[in-house]
């Protein structure tokens, strides 16, 4: 019974954490729209795998990382700046592709230093301070209110929690990919619209976060 509980809690926590738009979600949406779901899956699998590393870090160093973030306000400002920059870039409408008559990307221009989809997914999943902060918060909450989740817990329970989190992340990212795939067939100029919506959301989030840091 404990095994199932740990699996379900890990699954649920990952689903909740993956629902808000983040850099990985944006990469999955854009890859699906510009290319296809199959290529987006390459990002999804490795991004979910990389997030497991963050979860393990959160389990082992939960209290130490929480104190470090609180003591280093620059890290919080860095996250805000990254969100703002990404939002502005998306709003500017800059794309690196050849467009068809509907203003949709049909050929992606090659970068001088190309990166594989697998490496991109792993990088986005691993270098993600916001996700790490989320899991630190979740670990703190779970340990205080629901279950024990630390290095002293039986490894089978921790493993089931990680497996649940992996499949939860996969489910949400795949859902984003499939939803984007359906929309791109029905809506013209979807790439630009999606980018602008995401850009507005990221700019709003960054403004809210910096306001909270300054005044609260």
The whole model's pTM is what? 0.70
Per-residue pLDDT tens over the stretch 19-34: 877 778 878 888 888 7
Give CA separation, 160 vs 3, 14, 153, in Å: 6, 13, 12
SS3 108: strand
For the segment 168-187, the average pLDDT, to the nearest whole number, is 84
Q: Which two tokens stand for residue 134?
A: 């989320």
**What's the average model confidence in pLDDT over 59-76?**
73
Top mean pLDDT of 38-47, 72-81, 120-129 is at: 38-47
Look at residue 168 in the predicted model and tell me its pLDDT: 94
pLDDT digits (tens, 9 = 90+) for 202-212: 777 778 777 87
Average pLDDT over residues 167-188: 83
User: Is 106 strand, coil or helix?
Assistant: strand
- Per-residue exposure over 35-66, b if at least 16 CB sit within 10 Å of its own CB, e if not: eeeeebbbbbbbbbbbbbebbebbbeebeebb
Instruction: With a cut of 70, say whether residue 118 has pLDDT above it.
Output: yes
Residues 71, 74, 79, 84, CA torsion sign: positive
Q: Residue 199: which H helix or E strand, with range?
A: helix 190-215
3-state SS assignment for residue 169:
helix
- Asked whether the predicted pLDDT for residue 180 surpasses 90, the reply is no
> 60 pLDDT exceeds 50?
yes
Give the model confidence (pLDDT) of 125-142 as tens digits.
888 777 887 888 888 888
């Amino acid at each position: 019974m404990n095994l199932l509980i740990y699996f379900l809690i890990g699954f649920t926590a990952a689903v909740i954490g993956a629902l808000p738009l983040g850099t990985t979600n944006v990469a999955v949406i854009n890859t699906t729209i510009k290319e296809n779901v199959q290529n987006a899956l390459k990002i999804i699998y490795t991004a979910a795998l990389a997030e497991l590393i963050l979860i393990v870090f959160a389990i082992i160093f939960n209290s130490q990382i929480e104190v470090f973030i609180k003591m280093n306000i620059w890290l919080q400002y860095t996250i805000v700046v990254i969100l703002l920059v990404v939002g502005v870039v998306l709003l500017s409408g800059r794309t690196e592709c050849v467009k068809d008559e509907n203003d949709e990307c049909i050929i992606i221009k090659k970068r001088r230093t190309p990166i594989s989809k697998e490496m991109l997914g792993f990088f986005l999943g691993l270098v993600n301070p916001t996700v790490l902060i989320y899991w630190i918060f979740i670990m703190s909450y779970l340990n205080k209110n629901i279950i024990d989740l630390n290095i002293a817990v039986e490894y089978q329970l921790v493993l089931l929690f990680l497996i649940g989190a992996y499949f939860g992340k996969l489910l949400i990212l795949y859902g984003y990919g499939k939803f984007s795939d359906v929309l791109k067939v029905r809506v013209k100029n979807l790439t630009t619209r999606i980018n602008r919506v995401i850009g507005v959301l990221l700019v709003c989030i960054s403004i809210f976060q910096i306001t909270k840091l300054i005044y609260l």
